[in-house]
């Protein structure tokens, strides 16, 4: 039976959560609804004292949580999934307001919580044994302690939960720091989680950009699991080095997509476009460079344009909306910079240049830039918005080299009727997550990581669980 809602639990007051209790702060900041540019609710700005208190509470909670059998930890995670589901509609509305996502797409995120937790409940921590006549060597995996989860704004529930669930399952305690742009859903679900988990096991601190460095500097945080930009990831690693913290860095990408000439253009072009425009391009593994074989280039771009024209851009609750706004002012200005650069360099806008300055709300029409030069900003950098370049190719070795010619290596996709040919090409791409005949769709059952500057370590799958653990190797000799 699902747990029912426990009253009162309101969705319009927001707190930090420390040692099982909600707490306010002297100062507050507010997120902005990106559809209306109206201010949302106040959120407390955590201080160094809040960080110290949360870490101390985490350290107190850690031994008992570490010693709780994994089956019990899984059971509590399952109970939390049910409790979250009881409030799924409230979380969905909140998520729409803080991100502007179209409601059906935001629902994928809230519905994904149960799936994420179920996938993790199926994992087992490995036990490895080497045995001979004189000894047994047993390797087990033990938790690290207090984990700091530093999160971005593009999937506020999925990406924070993707740290909380494996951290708790492996016996760590965790403090979540949501992005200041989207603090609401994470603060709320962690407040809700206090009904399930012992105090100090899962906590949350919201704040401004001073808060992340307080996490990375804290000597008693054992690991930082970070998702965000490459530039901030480097700062996190540098700061964490001072206390030799473990770090997992899930960073940006510049994903290439290679389309072979044998594809069914009408079927594949819309899929490839969705890979670029899903969540208005604000996806680390969004397709960011599309390489189409020259034999079908013209028809393929035309089919993408036809599809893109039909993608309705608008507010969460509008009927038939496929793309919401860009989430925040900083990102909106950044994406506009890519439009301005392409305009200035006289790149070809495949279906006219949209007005990106005129709307109330951070809305941008999906845009395709037709064959800009290799060294253009739109090819070289990650826009993280609904604008994508296409280029033709003819020589496979050359296009693989071009696809790999980036410091990022997060995702990639290859599309071909001849799957063996596509797989052979996919194997040569320098990226952590390569998809054949699909755009990149992370799956919590499989390890997710970036090559090169797209990250260090990774999340999801059993391998992801182990990133929250120390290896403990016991060599036991017979007397
Ligand atoms: P960001 O790097 O600006 O911020 C991420 C988080 O880091 C925020 O919570 C922020 O407050 C915090 N932060 C800022 N400065 C810090 C510091 N010095 N020390 C510690 N923490 C600090 O990233 P963003 O704009 O929120 O997210 C967009 C970026 O994230 C894109 O580049 C995208 O590709 C990447 N991303 C990667 C993945 C992945 O899994 N690889 C997933 C989503 C997003």
The pLDDT tens digits of the residues spanning 70-107 come to 999 999 999 999 999 999 999 999 999 999 999 999 99
Asked if residue 185 lies in contact with residue 91, where contact means CB atoms within 8 angstroms, the answer is: yes
- Number of Cβ within a 10 Å radius of residue 446: 14
Please choose, from the candidates 290, 210, 206, the residue with its C-alpha nearest in 3D space to the C-alpha of residue 13: 206
Residues 198 and 325 reside in one and the same domain: no
Same-domain pairing of 386 and 308: yes
Closest ligand 1 atom to Cα of 331: 25
Does residue 478 sit in helix, strand or coil? coil
pLDDT tens digits, 419-460: 999 999 999 999 999 999 999 999 999 999 999 999 999 999
Q: What pLDDT does 4 receive?
A: 61
Q: Are 467 and 170 within 8 A, CB to CB?
A: no
pLDDT at 1 over 90: no
Q: Considering the entire predicted model, what is its pTM?
A: 0.97
pLDDT band for position 352 (cuts 50, 70, 90): confident
Residue 52 has pLDDT above 50, yes or no: yes
Cα(150) to centroid of ligand 1, in Å? Answer: 8
Q: How far apart are the CA of 2 and the centre of ligand 1, in A?
A: 35
CA-nearest residue, atom 40 of ligand 1 = 250
Domains held by the chain: number: 2
The pLDDT assigned to 354 comes to 82
- Ligand 1 centroid, distance to 154 Cα (angstroms): 9
Pocket test for ligand 1, best of 206, 232, 433, 440 (most atoms within 8 A of CB): 232
Give yes or no: residues 216 and 336 share one domain. Answer: no
109 among known catalytic residues: no
Q: Which range of residues forms the domain containing residue 205? A: 16-251+454-475
Same domain for 303 and 259:
yes
Ligand 1 atom closest to Cα of residue 155 = 43
* Across 22-47, average pLDDT: 97
The ligand 1 atom nearest the CA atom of 228: 30
pLDDT given for residue 358 in this prediction:
63
- Are residues 264 and 243 part of one domain? no
Contact 388, 367 (CB under 8 A): yes
Both 214 and 285 in one domain: the answer is: no
- Domain for residue 266, yes or no? yes
Place of tokens 């990149």: 440
Same domain membership, residue 378 and residue 361 = yes
Residue 79 within a domain: yes
Rounded CA gap, 187 and 203, in Å?
9
Could you tell me the distance, in angstroms and rounded to a whole number, from the CA of residue 39 to the centre of ligand 1?
22
**Which atom number of ligand 1 is nearest to the Cα of residue 410?**
41
CA-nearest of 412, 53, 125 to 259 is 412
466 and 378 part of one domain: no
| 448 is a domain residue | no
Q: Please check whether residue 278 is in contact with residue 476, taking contact to mean a CB–CB distance below 8 angstroms.
A: no
The contacts of residue 365 (CB under 8 Å, 6+ apart) are 313, 354, 356, 386
Which of 423, 424, 419, 404 shows the shortest CA–CA distance to 262?
Answer: 419
Q: Do residues 197 and 212 share a domain? A: yes
Same domain, 301 and 201: no
Query: Nearest-CA neighbor of 324 among 70, 163, 95, 132?
Result: 95
Q: What is the CATH number of the domain that holds 69?
A: 3.40.605.10
Nearest residue (CA) to ligand 1, atom 26: 152
Check whether 2 has a pLDDT greater than 60. Answer: no
Helix (H) or strand (E) holding 31: strand 28-32
Catalytic residue among 109, 250, 382, 453: 250
Ligand 1 is surrounded, with C-beta below 6 A, by 150-154, 159, 177, 179-180, 209, 212-213, 216, 227-229, 232, 235-236, 250-253, 284, 382, 384, 410, 450, 455
Interatomic CA distance for residues 20 and 193, integer angstroms: 9
Average pLDDT, the chain: 97
Cα 7 to averaged position of ligand 1 atoms, centre (Å):
34
């Amino acid at each position: 039976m699902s747990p029912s809602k426990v009253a009162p639990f309101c969705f319009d007051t927001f707190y930090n959560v420390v040692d099982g209790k909600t707490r306010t702060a002297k100062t507050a900041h507010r997120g902005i609804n990106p559809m209306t540019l109206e201010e949302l609710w106040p959120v407390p700005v955590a201080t160094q004292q809040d960080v110290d208190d949360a870490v101390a509470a985490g350290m107190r909670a850690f031994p008992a949580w570490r010693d709780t059998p994994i089956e019990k930890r899984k059971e509590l995670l399952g109970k939390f999934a049910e409790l979250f589901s009881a409030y799924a509609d409230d979380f969905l509305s909140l998520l729409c307001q803080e991100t502007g996502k179209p409601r059906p797409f935001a629902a994928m995120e809230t519905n994904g919580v149960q799936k994420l937790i179920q996938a993790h409940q199926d994992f087992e921590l490995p036990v490895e044994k080497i045995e001979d006549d004189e000894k047994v060597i047993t390797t087990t995996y033990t938790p690290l302690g207090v984990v700091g989860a530093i999160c971005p704004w593009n999937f506020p529930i999925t990406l924070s939960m993707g740290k909380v669930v494996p951290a708790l399952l492996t016996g760590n305690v965790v403090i979540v720091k949501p992005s200041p742009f989207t603090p609401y859903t994470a603060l709320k679900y962690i407040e809700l989680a206090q009904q399930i988990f012992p105090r100090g096991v899962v906590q949350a601190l919201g704040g401004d950009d001073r808060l992340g460095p307080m996490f990375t500097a804290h000597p008693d945080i054992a690991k930082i699991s970070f998702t965000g930009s490459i530039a901030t990831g480097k700062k996190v690693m540098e700061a964490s080095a001072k206390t030799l913290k473990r770090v997992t860095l899930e960073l940006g990408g510049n994903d290439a997509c290679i389309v072979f000439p044998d594809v069914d253009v009408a079927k594949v072009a819309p899929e490839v476009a969705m890979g670029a425009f899903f969540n208005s391009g604000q996806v680390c593994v969004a397709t960011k460079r599309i390489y189409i074989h020259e034999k079908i280039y013209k028809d393929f771009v035309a089919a993408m344009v036809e599809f893109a024209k039909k993608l309705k851009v608008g507010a969460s609750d509008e009927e038939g909306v496929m793309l919401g706004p860009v989430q925040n002012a900083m990102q909106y200005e950044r994406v506009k910079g890519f439009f301005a650069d392409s305009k200035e360099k006289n790149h070809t806008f495949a279906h006219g240049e949209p007005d990106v300055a005129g709307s109330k709300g951070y809305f941008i029409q999906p845009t395709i830039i037709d064959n800009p030069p290799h060294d253009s900003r739109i090819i070289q950098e990650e826009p993280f918005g609904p604008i994508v370049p296409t280029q033709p190719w003819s020589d496979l070795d050359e296009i693989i080299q071009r696809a790999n010619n980036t410091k990022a290596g997060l995702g990639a996709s290859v599309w071909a009727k001849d799957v063996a040919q596509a797989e052979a090409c996919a194997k040569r791409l320098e990226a952590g997550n390569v998809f054949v005949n699909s755009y990149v769709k992370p799956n919590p059952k499989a390890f997710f990581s970036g090559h090169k500057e797209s990250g260090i370590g990774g999340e999801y799958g059993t391998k992801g669980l182990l990133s929250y653990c120390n290896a403990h190797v016991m060599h036991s000799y017979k007397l």
